[in-house]
Amino acid sequence: MKLLISVQSISEAKKIKRSDFDILDIKNPNEGSLGTNFPYVIKGIREQFPDFPLSAAGGDLPALPGLASQVAFGLAHLELDYIKLGLYGMQSVEAATDLLREAKRAVDMSGAKNIKIIAAAFADFREANTFSPFLLNEVAAETGIDGVMIDTINKKNKSLFSFLKIKELKNFVEDGKKLNLITALAGSLNFNDLDKLREIKADIIGFRGAVCKNEDRSAEISPEKINSLYKKINRRI
């Protein structure tokens, strides 16, 4: 399991420069679960991490393929390794397929090499009226994108495991892997979830709140917490 850590600013990224993790993710929590950050922030972080796997969130997207394709095209010019697109304002397979197909076309057209598109659905899709994660693998395979992720919209006192059962998450990951998709999970995960996450075996697990001061995702990020999480994941403590 690769550890992805989300930051929201250049200064946070600098602060954790010597910490242990596998993927640095850039988001803008002020704009939602997968809120997208400004080009200058992403560019500034790339300058700090020239050879490190970098990911960026592309927004909790409405059912507007044109908008999604422009977001994807913009992100494709920022030397990223992964872009994450949230399937927020839609419920149907057709709407999600249109959006991802256009996002992929835009990334291909940008000429950027080796960028992986990860589509995210939300574990609390019923409450939030968003795209079902149970339909995500099918849409990802159909559109030729690279990976799938489940996160949560509701980040207040609830986590991924408040909304979906371990068995459901395991099936999601197994089905995704059978389709050669990268699989990722996030959503207020904490240190106590590691046994469950090991059982589910997603390729990537994403954290922010649990590695911030007082477990508050809007507070300061803690390099020490990141190191201790990385050690626990890799069973060095």
Ligand X SMILES: O=C[C@H](O)COP(=O)(O)O
Which of residues 6, 36, 69, 227 is near ligand X by CB under 6 A?
6
By CB under 6 A, is residue 37 in contact with ligand X?
A: no
**Which residues, listed in sequence order, are joined to residue 89 by a DSSP beta bridge?**
62
By CB under 6 A, is residue 65 in contact with ligand X?
A: no
Q: Annotated catalytic residue: which of 14, 15, 84, 178? A: 84
User: At 198, phi and psi to the nearest 5?
Assistant: -65, -35
Which of residues 133, 147, 176, 209 is near ligand X by CB under 6 A?
209
Q: How far is the CB of 209 from ligand X (least distance, A)?
A: 3
Q: How far is the CB of 84 from ligand X (least distance, A)?
A: 7
Q: Report 148-187 residues binding ligand X (CB under 6 A).
A: 151, 155, 186-187
CA–CA distances in Å: residue 200 to residues 43, 110, 143, 169, 174: 34, 35, 25, 7, 8
All residues at 6 or more sequence positions from 50 whose CB lies less than 8 Å from its CB, including other chains = none
Query: Binding string, 99-138, against ligand X, x = CB under 6 A?
Result: ----------------------------------------
Cβ atoms < 10 Å from Cβ of 145: 22
Q: State CA 98 to chain mean position distance.
A: 20
By CB under 6 A, is residue 36 in contact with ligand X?
A: no
**Unique residue bearing structure tokens 């979906």:** 164
Asked whether the beta carbons of 139 and 121 are under 8 A apart, the reply is: no
Nearer to ligand X, 176 or 187 (CB): 187
Nearer to ligand X, 27 or 104 (CB): 27
* E strand or H helix that includes residue 147: strand 147-151
Residue type, 139: V
Which of residues 46, 101, 104, 208 is near ligand X by CB under 6 A?
208
Q: In which region does residue 80 sit, left (phi positive, over 0), alpha (psi from -120 to 50) or beta (all else)?
A: beta
Q: How far is the CB of 88 from ligand X (least distance, A)?
A: 15
Residues marked active site are found at 27, 84
- What is the binding site for ligand X (CB under 6 A)? 4, 6, 25, 27, 151, 155, 186-189, 206-210, 217
